[in-house]
Amino acid sequence: MNDVNKTFRIGGDLEVNRLGYGAMRLTGQPRNFGPYADWKGGLALLRRAAELGVDFFDSAWSYGPETADQIVGEALAGQPVVIATKGGVDKPAPDRVVVDGSRDALDRQIDKALINLRRDQIDLFQLHRVDPDTPIETSVAALAQAQADGRIRHIGLSNITRDDLDRALSVAPIASVQNRFNMSEADDAGLVDYAAEKDIAFIPYGPLGANPMQQGAKLEPREALAWLLKRSPNIIVIPGTTAIEHLEQNWSAWDLV
């Protein structure tokens, strides 16, 4: 693989394959609202991912809401995989998103996520979005308390700037950043490198982009994923799919690396 590391240690201790799976699409459609229509098929897909070697699965409270956590928890109960979820955002209706990074909201979502994911501890809990009405320091302090209580193992952040990251780091160690990043949307290249310097995982969502391009030619999904895997050793890609065939094709991106 040309000296490309195949794994990364999230938080310094959770070693995962850098090709993971994102569960957002395992929800009702349109707008990722409600439970996934083919629940049994979703369970089979997640279990096939684990069979292939995927050991990092990314979800969020707002996917469904809650239903993505529920299907991931049911499919992977008892399996030695790392599961990440996000909180601080709720989706009470298909066209309504509520951002709440307060301690009370995060505590409620953590407690419910433990039930939905069927876990005694959440491996990685990420603040889904910075609440404009709650300083990021306050939100991270709430997550740090949940970490001290043993409810979560590591803290992550999503949809943030470098300044947000620095402010969060003044409160607690940060294990991951999850922002949109791909070949055609690479504005956060500097943040990828900054996170790498600090040994923080960078988990790009939308890894395929709207139209991944290289020298004017559209790339197949595997090539876009391989580009990310080669881009930086701290990147963990989380392509999502509802088809086992596509899952297996995505997994073969390592062949191109």
Q: Annotated catalytic, 36?
A: no
Is 55 in a helix, a strand, or coil? Answer: coil
Q: Other C-beta atoms within 10 Å of 135: how many?
A: 14
C-alpha distances (whole Å) from 153 to each of 29, 121, 141, 229, 254 are 32, 7, 14, 25, 28
Rg of the chain (C-alpha set): 17
Q: One-letter amino acid identity for 116?
A: N
Q: Other C-beta atoms within 10 Å of 185: how many?
A: 16
Evaluate whether 21 touches 53 at the Cβ level (below 8 Å): no
Distance CA 107, CA 88 (A): 10
- Residues paired with 240 in a beta bridge: none
Please tell me which residue in 36, 63, 194, 205 is annotated as part of the active site. 63
Q: Which residues are tagged catalytic?
A: 63
